[in-house]
Amino acid sequence: MFIGPDKTGSRRTGRDIALRYPCRAARCPYHRGFTLMEIMLAVAILGMMSMAIFRFVQSNMIALQLSSDTAAADAQYDGLRDLLATEWQSLSPFRANMDGQPLKLGDRERDEIKWRSTAGPGLLTRYAPGDFTVALRLQPEDEKDSVLDLGFSRTQEDSDTGEARETWVPLIKNVNSLEISYFDANANTWFPRWPPGGRLPSLIKITVGRTDAAVPWETIIPLRRTPY
């Protein structure tokens, strides 16, 4: 087949062109697909990218779960502060007969505070008649359990039989310690105990050792927000 003269003036055929340009797209078989090595390399890169994305998503999910658990635990203690403030700010200094004693279990603080009050939102009961003797303290779930729960012990005397009925209301489970301090405005200092009588402390400081945090939770509750 005649093609035409090249630059040198000689005539070229189709075979001459194929021999001179062996890798034209229409004739070169090496450009029709990927080699096995190229496919294996692409699969390896995709696998590494998938693993990196999986680890990124997994770490974010774990972080979100831990953040959610921490927020739920903090909300429990915020609720405890609001509950105690509601209860103690409603007490009458002449009827409350508040009594605070420092106690220990081994090397752990297990303070206890007692008072008398009627039913109300601060005791998680609204319509029970009569007065309650209430104690905020630590108590195990059972006698053989070393895990301590923080809660209310509510004791009420039955007017018909004269027998005392005690109910335990757990507030926060699995705590390490409970330390209670009382601020006397007359002495302008904190005391570890509060004697029963006709006065209430100006402030009560609650410190709870948490099992889920290295730093204990602490709050100060005023008892004289409104005048008596």
- pLDDT 10s digits, 41-94: 888 888 888 888 888 888 878 777 766 766 777 888 999 999 999 999 988 888
How many domains is the chain partitioned into structurally? 1
- Give the model's confidence band at 146: pLDDT under 50 very low, under 70 low, under 90 confident, else very high: confident
Q: Is residue 38 part of a domain?
A: no
The answer to the question of residue 196 being in a domain is yes
pTM attached to this predicted model: 0.68
Q: 42 in a domain, yes or no?
A: no
State the pLDDT at residue 227: 46
Phi first, then psi, for residue 134 (nearest 5°) are: -115, 140
In the predicted model, what is the mean pLDDT of the chain?
81
Mean per-residue pLDDT for 197-212?
90
Structural domain includes residue 12: no
pLDDT at 25: 47
From CA 34, how far away is CA 95, in angstroms rounded?
91
**Residue 6 domain-assigned?**
no
Q: In whole angstroms, what is the distance from residue 154 CA to residue 136 CA? A: 9
Helix spans in 89-206 (H): none
Region 203-215: mean pLDDT is 91
C-beta of residue 130 within 8 angstroms of C-beta of residue 109? no
189 located within any domain: yes
Structural domain of residue 135, as residue ranges?
82-222
pLDDT surpasses 70 at 207: yes
In a domain, 52, yes or no: no
Residue 2 has pLDDT above 50, yes or no: no
Q: What is the Cα–Cα distance from 158 to 174, expressed in whole angstroms? A: 32
Q: Is residue 214 part of a domain?
A: yes
HSE-CB at 196 with a 13 A cutoff on CA atoms is 11
Report the percent of the chain where pLDDT is more than 70. 79
